[in-house]
Amino acid sequence: MNHNIQTGIPFGVISLASLGDWVVDELCSLPNPEMDANLEDYLRGELWGKPGADDELLENLDYSELAALADDILGLRWSDSYYDGLESPFVGCKGEIDGVSVRVTELGGALLVWVFESPVVGWYSQCSPCVPGAGNLDSPNPDGIECYDVPADWRQ
């Protein structure tokens, strides 16, 4: 469980707080299918009737265009006013950064970055029973399990 089916190598899991600011910025720019629909609905509601936001134009915009328009008009994207009361904007982000396949999830209030595939592997303690079979990238252990890792320059 919690391993790459093609390679058999366990996933690595690391706290978002353990990663450098530039990595967090990159994660924030990854596609987030879980939030896109909510953000789009929210932005359409916020932009309706605002100067520069034509109703017909809004109906034909795709998500990235709508988000850019919100930035220009309201400075809204990633702002507390949208995310207040919702999950973190990171939860659900997934994609690839520098050849590392990742996804951000939440577990008990902590934001975790899963490493599904990477050119880097390392030896780490196994995660708790909450993430069975994965390696805890915050706990190096030469006697632990070999799992996918993040590049060294990703860490703070």
Q: What is the side-by-side strand order in the sheet with 94-97?
A: 94-97, 100-107, 110-117, 12-15, 135-140, 121-126, 145-148
What confidence tens digit (pLDDT) does each residue in 42-100 have? 666 665 666 566 666 666 666 666 666 666 655 554 444 444 444 555 677 788 999 99
Q: SS3 breakdown of the chain: % helix, strand, coil, rounded to 5? A: 35, 30, 40
User: pTM of the full predicted structure?
Assistant: 0.69
Kindly report which listed range (32-41, 76-85, 112-121) carries the lowest average pLDDT score.
76-85
Round to the nearest angstrom and report the end-to-end CA distance of the chain.
29
Q: Quick check: 139 pLDDT over 70?
A: yes
Mean pLDDT to the nearest integer, 1-18: 94
DSSP 42-56: HHHHHHTTSTT--HH
Dist CA 42 CA 47 (whole Å): 9
Q: What is the pLDDT of residue 28?
A: 76
CA distance to 37, 60, 66, 108, 124, per residue, from 16 (Å): 24, 35, 27, 13, 17
Q: What is the pLDDT of residue 27?
A: 84
Task: State the amino acid at position 55 in one-letter form.
Answer: D
Residues contacting 122, CB < 8 A, separation 6+: 12, 135, 137, 140, 146, 147, 149
Q: What is the pLDDT of residue 106?
A: 83
